């Protein structure tokens, strides 16, 4: 039983490390090629917003699972400021394009 717990904890730690990298890559792509890229037509920006929102939701689901795992194993919660910032921007852009 102890070995399985250790194995699950190692998988969790590896998952958290992977998510940190995944969030960085996602945020960089959001900034460079996302809906806020300069010079985009509104329709193109809206399409990019939809795509990035879907990508965000997948990452957020993984974050939720790993966050619960950290709590289960009593590990400190990893901070994902870039994910929070992106979430806030997506929400604001949703409101803006909702008017469009």
Predicted confidence at residue 36, as pLDDT, reads 93
Place of tokens 């879907």: 54
Query: Quick one: pLDDT at residue 44?
Result: 95
DSSP 28: H
Give the range of the structural domain holding residue 39, as residue numbers without chain letter: 2-99
pLDDT in tens, the chain (100 residues): 678 888 999 999 999 999 999 999 999 999 999 999 999 999 999 999 999 999 999 999 999 999 999 999 999 999 999 999 999 999 999 998 887 6
The number of distinct structural domains making up the chain is 1
Contact 46, 94 (CB under 8 A): no
**Is 0.85 topped by the overall pTM?**
yes
């Amino acid at each position: 039983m102890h070995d399985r717990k250790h194995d699950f904890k190692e998988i969790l730690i590896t998952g958290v490390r992977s998510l940190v990298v995944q969030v960085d890559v996602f945020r960089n792509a959001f900034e460079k090629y996302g809906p806020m890229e300069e010079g985009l037509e509104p329709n193109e920006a809206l399409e990019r917003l939809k795509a990035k929102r879907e990508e965000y939701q997948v990452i957020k689901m993984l974050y939720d699972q790993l966050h619960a795992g950290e709590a289960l194993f009593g590990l400190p919660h990893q901070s994902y400021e870039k994910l929070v910032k992106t979430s806030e921007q997506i929400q604001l852009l949703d409101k803006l394009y909702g008017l469009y």
